[in-house]
Amino acid sequence: MMERELAYMVGKAVGAACEERIILENNGNAKHVLVIREPGAEVCPTIYIDGILESIRNGETGMGEAVTAVTDIYREARSPEWLQGIGKRLMEKEYVLENVIYQVVGLKKNLCRLSKMPHKLLLDLAAVYRVVLENCGMHEHAGFVVENEFRERCGITEEELDAAARRNTDKRGFCIRSIGLFLRHVTGAPVIPPGCGDNIWVITTTDGYYGAAALLYGKSCLGKLADRIGSDLYVLPASIHEVIAVPVGKAHPGELIDMVYTINAEEVEPEEVLSNSVYRYNRRDGSLMPAGKDIN
């Protein structure tokens, strides 16, 4: 198979054991990776290769070029700066607690993964714990989701992990924009169309990643918007990175559910889909509940 051939050639090029694996990401999406393991190394780079494999199949990249691409990624990940910096501290309790944040995922499609991870439930969702590798020389949002085995090796309790994730996520901050301003931010359009979604708001983190964690911050995040506009909110899980809020009374929840299905089917990558539900935020008590009763 192409994957095994690539793994063999990469291992030979870097002088280390290289194994091809299939791992399950969010929502059960299977990804091909290469795991390169040096003798005695505690941290082994995991390199995603689906894009490279597709490029080989399409004839855009030769096997030699693919090997070079993978080895370049590997050597960057194993650079002296990495080894003496993050790589050296990755198993340290202090480092993990300084860099862990919440990531919200769908419950039903992730039951298998969640059985191996510390998590807490929120309606038909679950909050897991992602360690973000800041300034690591790779993707600016590189990181990994904490599994039970890793947590135990680092000597971290679930209570410590959750307290750190809540603190760090809150510190990173949330951003609430009208959908017009949000689209302007994303597309760079110089003019906001008149009346563009005056009653639709997008909530995400200040860096735009894993913003659905706002659902865990009722009064301190959703509550701020609800108080500003003087209304309870219907909340739509647009993706793992953002949620959409609409004042109750400005749209029928049945229509909003149709909107969520459309967004998930046509606009969001499968691994970033969160849920097909619509929730209602109560500004009086800060609760978040399914909006099903409103539909009935």
Q: Where do the structural domains in the chain lie, given as residue ranges?
A: 2-78, 90-171, 173-295
Query: pLDDT tens across 150-161, in order?
Result: 999 999 999 999
Whether residue 149 is predicted with pLDDT greater than 90 in this model: the reply is: yes
The widest CA-to-CA distance across the chain, in whole angstroms, is 64
Confidence of residue 185 (pLDDT cuts 50, 70, 90): low
Q: What is the mean pLDDT of the chain?
A: 85
Torsion sign across C-alpha atoms 208, 219, 263, 125: positive
What phi, psi does 217 have (nearest 5°)? -120, 70
- Contact, 264 vs 273, CB < 8 A? yes
User: Can you tell me whether residue 170 is helix, strand or coil?
Assistant: helix
What is the DSSP code (8-state) at residue 188? -
- The burial of 67, by beta-carbon neighbours within 10 Å (0-12 exposed, 13-18 middle, 19 or more buried), is given as buried
Confidence of residue 193 (pLDDT cuts 50, 70, 90): very low
| pLDDT of res. 277 | 93
Find how far residue 2's CA is from the centre of its chain: 29
Q: How many helices (H) and strands (E) does the chain have?
A: 13, 13
Confidence of residue 136 (pLDDT cuts 50, 70, 90): very low
Whether residue 254 is predicted with pLDDT greater than 60 in this model: the reply is: yes
| pLDDT of res. 138 | 47
| Alpha-carbon distance values, 241 to 214, 236, 290 (Å) | 10, 12, 20
Average pLDDT of the segment spanning 171-192? 68
Q: Which of 8-12, 162-166, 210-214 has the lowest mean pLDDT?
A: 8-12
- The span from the CA of 121 to the CA of 114, in Å, is 10
Whether residue 114 is predicted with pLDDT greater than 60 in this model: the reply is: yes
| pLDDT of res. 159 | 97
| pLDDT of res. 141 | 60
Higher pLDDT, 166 or 294: 166
Could you give the percent of the chain with pLDDT greater than 90? 49
| Alpha-carbon distance values, 156 to 45, 106, 117, 163 (Å) | 23, 25, 13, 11
- The span from the CA of 75 to the CA of 79, in Å, is 6
First-to-last alpha carbon distance for the chain, in angstroms, is 53
